[in-house]
Structure formats: C-alpha cells, structure tokens
Amino acid sequence: MSQKIAYGFGDFGNGFMFDLGQAYLTKFWIDACGIGAGAVAGIFAFTKIFDAFMDPIAGSVIDNRKKIGKAGKFRPVMMISAIILGIMTVVTFTMPSGLSGTQKIIYAYAAYMIWGLVYSFTNDPYGSLASVMSRNSQDRSFMATSRQVGSVGAQFIAGVAFIPLMGIIANGNTGVKEEHGYFWAAAVFAVIGVLMFAVCYFGTRENVKVHRNTGADAEKEGFKDYIKVIFKNGPLGALILMTLFTISAMNTNNQMMVFYAQYNLGNIGLQPIINAIMMGCSIVGVFMIPTLTKHFGQKRTAMWSFVIGAVANIANFFLPQNVIAFIVLVTIGYTALAIPNGITWAMVSNAIDYGEWRSGTRKEAITYAAFNFSRKIAQSLAALVSAGVLALTGYVANAHQTAGALRGIKAAMTLYPGFCLLVAAVVIGFLYKLDEKRFAEIADDLDHGRWEGGKLKGNIK
C-alpha cells in the first residue's frame, strides 16, 4: 500500500513542472514577453511534435539498458531526469533581457525543446514503473488512482496558487517585473516537484520479475521496434487514438481558463477560484476510480465518463453566459475527463503486458513512449487550438477584446473539449478490446512464462 501511494507522488511532482507549461507559458510568452500569439502557437506546435519524436529515442535508450542495479531499471533514470527537468522548468519561464523579438522566439523554441527532451526521459521510466510494480489489475487501478490524484492535485495547486504567488512576487510595491515574477514562482514549483519525485523514488520498488534478454541474447531496439510496438498492439493503438482527443481537450481547457476568466468573465481573480472548485471536485471523482472499475470495468467507466463530459462542455457553449452555470458545467466536464484519464494509466500497463504476450518480448519503456507520443501530439494540437484561436479572432494582449475574440475564447474553452470527449467515447467503445476477462487470461500466461507463441525466453529479473 505504501508503494502504491508513493507512486502517485511521481505525477504529483510531475504536475508541478508540466502543468505550469501547459497552463501559463502561453500567457507568459504573449503577455509578459511580448511574443505574438501566432508565433507562440508555432512554438508549441513545433516543439511538441519534436518532443513526440524524442520519445522513441528515450524509450529505446531506457529499454536498452544492460546494467540494471538494485535500484531497478526505471527508478534511477526517472530521478536523475526529474532533477534536470526542474532546472529546465525554471529556464522556460526565463526571458533574458535585451533580446529582440526574433531572439525571444528563438530562445523560447530552444528552451522548450530541451525541456521536452528531458521530460521524455522523466516520464517514460515513470510510466513504465507501474508495469513492474504489480501485475494485479486492482493494484494497477489503485496506482492509476494514486497517479491521477497526484496529477489533479498538482493541477489544483498550480491552478489556484501560481497566479497569486506570481502576483505577490511581482507587484507595484516590490518593484519586480512581471516576467521575473513568473521566474521565481516557477522556481518554487520546480523545487517542490523534484522533492515529490524523490518521495516516489525512495518509496517504490520494482517487484514484478519479468523475462529479459541480457548479454549476447539481447537485441538492441530502434525505431523499427517502436513502429512494431504500435501496429502489433491493438489495445495500445486504441489508447493512442483516444489520447489525442482527451489530452488536447484537457490542455486546451487549462490554457484557456486564465483568458476566459480575465476577459469573458471580466475578473482574472476568478481563475484560481474556478480552478479550485473544478479540480477539487476532480480529485473527489478520481478517488472513485477503484470502486467504479470494480463494478463497471475500466472500459465502460471511461466511455460513459466521456459522454457525460461531452454533454456538459457542449451545453456550456450554447447556454447564455452565467458565472454559476459555467462553473457547474465546467466542473462536471473536467471531473468526467479526469476519471478516464486516471483509468488510462492502468490500461497502458495492461497494454504493456499484452504486447509481451503477443510478441514474446517485453518492451516497457518503448511501449510507454509510443503512448506518450500521442500525448505530445495532443499537447501540440491543444497549443495550436489555444494560441491559434487567439490569433485568428484578433486577440490583443492586455486590452479590451472584440466580440469575435470573446467567442473564440469561449469556443476553445468549451466546444472544442466537448467535441473531443465525444470522439474519445466512440474510440474507447468500439476499438479498445482488452476487457478484464481477457487481461486475466493474458496475465496468467505471463505469470507462467507463456506468450502467444510458446515459452518466454530470457532471464527472470
């Protein structure tokens, strides 16, 4: 139990660094640094696609590790990378003085590309770790819950505390510029994030003994193995497609909230209040994952959550603007998205086992990298939608917005997530075939050293 709880601290720490970029880099670069909204859309789109193609490299490097010590295969890589990620988080919220507009754009590209590469080496081993902590479905559901509680908890704190903390540091009385306020607030969050990863590192163990080829029997994996992992693993393919829509929906919601509060609702001070309600309820919803999956299964719980979230978001777009109605519906939509996002982590661990059963070779990190690829593409898509809508509808930083710009902000905030969740429900309902009964049969085969084609090779480690 202590290990399952400690595992969630990894995503808690991850959220302190990852969620800052998703929620506030758009506003930092546009409003504090003076980079145009169209250029910011390009930065996010290109760097996230670049990051996506770095994931197979990270997965291959991790899976090709030969000397595995007592700390395990994944934990050491995760912890070292988390420290570097903390440093890079602060760097992304830094803009050196004296740079021209073009130089600012180049700096933003470089900093965020490096951040993304380090993130791959942090998140790939962290995600793979769950598959070797336990093979029991209920354990994995609990770890998925623990992880999602950590993730939403970090979103809660980032959503509620970051802007007020930045405001305390940078205001008229302190003389600290707005961009420096972002820097120091990011530094505080990065330190906490690294400390939370340390809790995960020291509190978890790699308990599952699996067959691994070592020495002369080991085959070095490359990009072709990455492609094979995707196209030979049906459940993984369904999760990848689903994630393109769910993560782009969540990130667009997070990125647009500060703009919606400031301009559509007319009070940026509402942003931390709305986030507190929305993410607080999401945490409660995530705690229900073990109970929901026990009674209804992972697939049905995820599918119907998506449907509920889609209805709430679409209704939020068409109803007349009202603060209370908006908060209620955005909370329902976000909670209905947080629940299946938590379940997804257990599904990915199951897909790793399915891949081993199907191919006879276990590739945790490269399988997780394939899944993470879709998350990066989804993040790029969210950035294109968020910054792109601002650019196309005539958004002007720190100014009174036109009716068209306000409609664009509202559509990105509500209608786009609603559409994405509707598509995700169709994908998980019709394409994901690995139910609880089928997985139990596969897990039993693996526990007895069997795969689809016979006996597993390699040493048990």
> Which carries the bigger pLDDT value, residue 212 or residue 56?
56
Q: Determine the average pLDDT of the residues in 310-331.
A: 95
Q: What pLDDT does 217 receive? A: 45
Q: What pLDDT does 216 receive? A: 45
Q: Determine the average pLDDT of the residues in 219-230.
A: 61
Distance (Å, rounded) from C-alpha 241 to C-alpha 239? Answer: 5
Say if residues 311 and 325 touch (Cβ distance below 8 Å): no
Q: Tens digit of pLDDT for each residue in 356-383?
A: 898 887 778 778 888 888 888 888 788 7
Q: Tens digit of pLDDT for each residue in 102-139?
A: 999 999 999 999 998 999 899 889 988 988 899 887 88
Distance (Å, rounded) from C-alpha 5 to C-alpha 352? Answer: 22
Q: What pLDDT does 31 receive? A: 84
Lookup: tokens for 384:
């294109």
Dihedral sign computed on CA atoms, order 437, 442, 446, 449: positive
List of domains in the chain: 1-208 (1.20.1250.20), 221-450 (1.20.1250.20)
Q: Determine the average pLDDT of the residues in 286-290.
A: 88
Angle (CA) 55-363-225 rounded to 5° is 65
The answer to whether residue 444 scores a pLDDT higher than 60 is yes
Distance (Å, rounded) from C-alpha 379 to C-alpha 23? Answer: 11
Q: What pLDDT does 85 receive? A: 96
Residue 265, exposed/middle/buried by CB under 10 A (0-12, 13-18, 19+)? middle
Residue 228, exposed/middle/buried by CB under 10 A (0-12, 13-18, 19+)? middle
Say if residues 20 and 189 touch (Cβ distance below 8 Å): yes
Q: What pLDDT does 199 receive? A: 97
pLDDT band at 244 (very low <50, low <70, confident <90, very high): very high
Q: What pLDDT does 406 receive? A: 94
Share of the chain above pLDDT 70, in %: 93
Say if residues 315 and 333 touch (Cβ distance below 8 Å): no
| Choice among 187-201, 239-253, 344-358, 416-430 with the minimum mean pLDDT | 344-358
Q: How far apart are the first and last CA of the chain?
A: 23
| Choice among 75-84, 199-208, 223-232 with the minimum mean pLDDT | 223-232
CB neighbours of residue 296 within 10 Å: 13
Q: What pLDDT does 110 receive? A: 95
Site of tokens 């889609």: 310
Distance (Å, rounded) from C-alpha 230 to C-alpha 39? Answer: 32
**What's the mean per-residue pLDDT of the chain?**
87
The answer to whether residue 60 scores a pLDDT higher than 90 is no
Q: What pLDDT does 94 receive? A: 92
pLDDT band at 218 (very low <50, low <70, confident <90, very high): very low
Distance (Å, rounded) from C-alpha 230 to C-alpha 427? Answer: 16
Q: What pLDDT does 415 receive? A: 96
Give the DSSP H/E element, type plus range, for residue 451.
strand 450-451
The answer to whether residue 65 scores a pLDDT higher than 80 is no
**Phi, psi values for residue 211, rounded to 5°:** -80, 120
Q: Tens digit of pLDDT for each residue in 191-201?
A: 999 999 999 99
Percent helix, strand and coil across the chain, each to the nearest 5:
80, 0, 20
